[in-house]
Amino acid sequence: MKLDLYMRLVLTIITLCLLWNVFRPLFIPRKVEAYGDILSVNIERIGGHYVYDAIPVNIKKINR
């Protein structure tokens, strides 16, 4: 009977910790910032081989 009480206590603590991790961003939001520098994301190699004849992809910045 004592083991049952111990397991319930452990599972309750785990549940409370998981719930805290889920709801923490709602109560304590973090400050988020983006970097202002431009970062190059060009792929030179895949699997050690150089990439040739790739399709250019244009990316536009969306201001919200």
SS3 of residue 46 by DSSP: strand
Q: Is this structure's pTM higher than 0.85?
A: no
Instruction: Write down the domain spans for the chain.
Output: 2-49
55 alpha-carbon distance from chain centroid: 29
Q: What's the pLDDT at 36?
A: 72
Longest distance between any two alpha carbons in the chain, whole Å: 70
- The string of pLDDT tens digits covering residues 8-51 is 999 999 999 999 999 998 888 888 777 677 777 777 777 877 77
Q: What's the pLDDT at 22?
A: 92
In the chain, the DSSP E strands lie at 45-46, 49-50
